[in-house]
Chain A
Amino acid sequence: MKSARLGPWIAILIGAIYFIVPLIATFEFSLRKRRGEYSLDAYRSLFEDSRFLQSFGYSALVALATIVVGVLLVVPTAYWIRLRLPGLRPVIEFITLLPLVIPAIVIVFGYLRMYNSSSWLPFTASARATDALLVFSYVTLSLPYMYRAVDTGLRAIDVRTLTEAGQSLGASSARILFSVILPNVRAAVLSGAFLTFAIVIGEFTMASLLNRPAFGPYLQNVGANRAYEPFALAVIAFAVTWASMGLINVFGRGAHDMAAPGKR
């Protein structure tokens, strides 16, 4: 085996500089709040800001709800498609890819038009209903990743045999789905869940246009009004993203090879 040539190393070096320098710069800026010396003042002032914890908590809750709704929607569908309706597979796959085709801002614009307070389904009439709409919008955004993760997980197990085994032991369909199939695709579901969390936690467009007090709009607000706190927030956001991706590696692969363009 020949030793490495120069070219690959140059590519890696340039890549490393491009990807690492902004992180260093952001971190350095986040420490500059106190004049003349490095300090954690920017972080301290964030944690003293009640809106920081409130908006982060709100978004974390919305992310959790998104994951639950997403799993309840995607796992039975993907299971049923594998077991009984393989012919519909291309249709479902096409639909789950649509959120990559239709920009998030267009989807939410459609919601505002269709579900306004004088429509047949007035989702935007009350705060609670708008929260629900936000959760559904995030389920839509995460559909491409969730579906692919779950479907990859289902491909790795013998769905038919497991189902027949469950049936011959007298289990109901719901029991088979939740006590047999779901535990077997746990790693894939968790991958999809953490990816969903990473997408949803700082999402801006939908939360902002639906006017919900989420973390994304808070980030934007701090960015427009404060000098050093935005950089501290960026460091925190990077850490959260890193943690989500790290947990995917810990809990198994499946969504591992995927990234999330839907978020922007």
Chain B
Amino acid sequence: MAELAYPQAHAAPAPSVRRVPLSWAWLGVVPFFLFALLFLILPTLDLILGAFRTPEGGFTLDNIRRLNTPTIRGAYKISLQVSVASALLGAVAGFFLAYAVVMGRVPRWLRPVLTTFSGVASNFAGIPLAFAFLATLGPTGLVTALLMNNFGVNLRALGFNILSFWGLTITYLYFQIPLMVLILMPALDGLKKEWREASAILGATTFQYWRYIALPVLWPSLLGTTILLFANAFGAVATAYALTGSSLNIVPILLYAQIRGDVLHDPHLGYALALGMIVITGLSNVGYIWLRARSERWIR
């Protein structure tokens, strides 16, 4: 007993001995924090504060109030619509694709093909993506022409225009769906076969299995990823700009034009616009982080 007690007694003062080197350890992360402060946190804070300042430097809520114009309200509205639609559709389509490959009993080689392609497609964004969809669904695009010549379907007469809500949503899905697939595949792998077997033994139908077991487990990562997709679409500039120029009035385009000095000639209104974007993507990502932490408890 005494021999067992000895090392414990010996170990007790150890924390105070180790405190000495620890006191300088923080120096090792100074470069990182300095970088984060200079190029991420301070510039953002500066904008946020700028949104509440008058040009003379006093405090004001006027900039925020001035967001309430038909143009800016409309821009936020269509931005939210495109982001929500592309996030939800991307989530649903991505779920079915990931499900098909992980659990659909399709040939094994399809999985690495889908993973690799998703890696590429989720990064094939920005301006080239806009070009690709102009070639596909633009006024003279391949699919537009195909439908017109072979099936007599005139997309334009049906009200479809690539420079519109649906045009932008369909284009964004090209990176939204693969992103969902990439994040969801590991989550689907986390569904243990035993759960399904156990529920089947207890007499559960497929519907009951999904309703009471699989979806509750997947729910946080599904919803969390959908929120990530939302923020992803909401901040996107390049694709929309290359696709529509400044003809489609969405918030990032409005802010881009404002920074370039094209429209508002009012930097403080620009700060308020930026603040609105931070608030919206910030809230959605707080949700994401929270839900992700919850889902990681289940998926091991």
Q: Which residues of A contact B (CB under 8 A)?
A: 1-5, 7-9, 11-12, 15, 18-19, 21-26, 28-29, 73-74, 76-77, 80-81, 84-85, 88, 92, 94-95, 97-115, 121, 136-137, 139-140, 143, 195, 198-199, 202-205, 209, 216, 219-220, 223-224, 230-231, 233-234, 237-238, 241-242, 244-246, 248-249, 256-261, 263-264
The reply to whether B281 and A103 contact each other, CB–CB distance below 8 Å, is: yes
Contacts of B81 in A (CB 8 A): none
Q: Are A21 and B142 in contact, with the CB atoms below 8 A?
A: yes
Determine whether the beta carbon of A12 is less than 8 Å from that of B100: yes
On whether the beta carbons of A109 and B47 are closer than 8 Å, the reply is yes
How far, in whole Å, are A12 and B116 apart by their CA atoms in the complex? Answer: 15
CA distance A19 to B114 in the complex (A): 11
A106 touches B47 (CB 8 A): yes
A104 to B134, CA, bound (A): 24
Q: B222: which A residues are within 8 A, CB to CB?
A: none
Q: A21-B142, A25-B141, A113-B50 are in contact. Are A77 and B128 (CB under 8 A)?
A: no
Q: State in angstroms the CA–CA spacing of A199 and B123 once bound together.
A: 7
A8 to B114: give the CA distance in the assembly, Å: 13
Is B241 an interface residue when CB atoms closer than 8 A count as contact?
Answer: yes
Given A18-B174, A202-B126, 20 new contacts (CB under 8 A): A8-B101, A9-B100, A19-B121, A26-B131, A80-B25, A95-B36, A102-B235, A103-B278, A103-B281, A105-B252, A105-B259, A109-B43, A110-B43, A114-B46, A204-B238, A204-B241, A205-B237, A205-B256, A209-B259, A264-B175
A-B contacts, CB under 8 A, total: 285
- Provide 22 A-B residue pairs closer than 8 Å at the C-beta atoms, listed in order of the A residue: A4-B105, A5-B104, A12-B100, A12-B106, A21-B142, A81-B29, A100-B285, A103-B235, A103-B277, A106-B47, A107-B39, A107-B40, A109-B271, A114-B43, A209-B256, A219-B127, A219-B131, A234-B128, A259-B123, A259-B179, A259-B182, A261-B122
Asked if B212 is at the interface (CB within 8 A of a chain A CB), the reply is: no
Query: Closest CB of chain B to A258's CB: distance in Å?
Result: 7
CA distance A107 to B281 in the complex (A): 13
1/0 contact string of B99-132 vs chain A (CB within 8 Å): 1110111100010000111111111111111111
Complex CA distance for A234 and B117, rounded to whole angstroms? 16
**Chain B interface, DSSP helix/strand/loop, else mixed:** helix
Instruction: Tell whether, in the assembled complex, residue B29 and residue A223 are in contact, meaning their CB atoms are under 8 Å apart.
Output: no
Contacts of B133 in A (CB 8 A): 22
B143: A residues at CB distance < 8 A: 21, 25
A223 and B245 alpha carbons, distance in the complex (Å): 10
The CA-CA distance from A197 to B32 in the complex, in Å, is 21
Whether the pair A11, B289 counts as a contact (CB closer than 8 A) is no
Of the candidates B96, B100, B105, B178, the one having the most CB atoms from chain A within 10 angstroms of its own CB is: B100
Residues of B within 8 A of A (CB): 22, 25-26, 28-29, 31-32, 35-36, 38-44, 46-47, 50, 93, 96-97, 99-101, 103-106, 110, 115-136, 141-143, 173-175, 177-179, 182-183, 185-186, 228, 231-232, 234-239, 241-242, 245, 252, 255-256, 259-260, 267, 270-271, 274, 277-278, 281-282, 285, 289
Task: Tell me, rounded to whole Å, the shortest Cβ–Cβ distance linking A6 to chain B.
Answer: 10
Tell me the complex Cα distance, A191–B227, Å. Answer: 26
Q: Once the chains are docked, how many angstroms separate the CA of A135 from the CA of B22?
A: 33
Choose among B40, B97, B104, B135 the residue that contacts A98 (Cβ–Cβ < 8 A).
Answer: B40
CB proximity of A25 to chain B, nearest CB, Å:
4
Q: Which residues of B contact A105 (CB under 8 A)?
A: 235, 237, 252, 255-256, 259, 274, 277
Residues of A near B278 (CB, < 8 A) are: 101-103, 106
Contact B104 A4 (CB under 8 A): yes
Contacts of B128 in A (CB 8 A): 202, 219, 233-234, 237-238
